[in-house]
Amino acid sequence: MKTAIYARNAGANAIGALANNGYIRVYTGAQPATPETAASGTLLAELRFNATAFGAAVAGVITANAITADSAANNDGNAGYYRALGSDGTSVLWDGTVGTSGADLNLNSVAFVTGANVAVSSLTYTLPT
């Protein structure tokens, strides 16, 4: 089965809206098997999505609007994955890859030091076909 771009864009936009005023939590270790699986690893940083988290979808991909930096990382460690949550801070939306380029979530560094600034370069979400 394949999904039309129109439908993928609608789905991606709906998912993006769930992230409005939500959270991005960056953890050490391997990404859990599913977003329903409890988060594993050490929490390194927590960042907030803006009131309008994402721009309009293009070809099933949404790109995050500016995300405020976390002025102080929570712990030392290397980022392994991130988890996106809704504005309530508990509703898990999705998990994704972390890197400095070419990942779902691109940061200024994946090596975290407690108290250091954590800045997002880019974040995209792609609705699967």
State the chain's maximal CA–CA distance in angstroms. Answer: 47
Q: What is the pLDDT of residue 129?
A: 79
Q: What is the pLDDT of residue 91?
A: 97
Using pLDDT thresholds of 50, 70 and 90, give the confidence band for residue 98: very high
The tens digit of pLDDT for each residue in 112-125 reads 999 999 999 999 99
Q: How far apart are CA 78 and CA 76, in angstroms?
A: 7
Q: b/e for 101-120, b at 16 or more Cβ within 10 A?
A: eebbbbbeebebeeeeebeb
Q: What is the pLDDT of residue 50?
A: 95
Helices (H), 1-129: 5-18
Provide the residue type at 44 as one letter.
L
CA distances to 13, 53, 62, 75, 115 from 65, rounded to whole Å, are 13, 6, 9, 26, 24
The tens digit of pLDDT for each residue in 18-70 reads 999 999 999 999 999 999 999 999 999 999 999 999 999 999 999 999 998 98
| pTM confidence score | 0.94
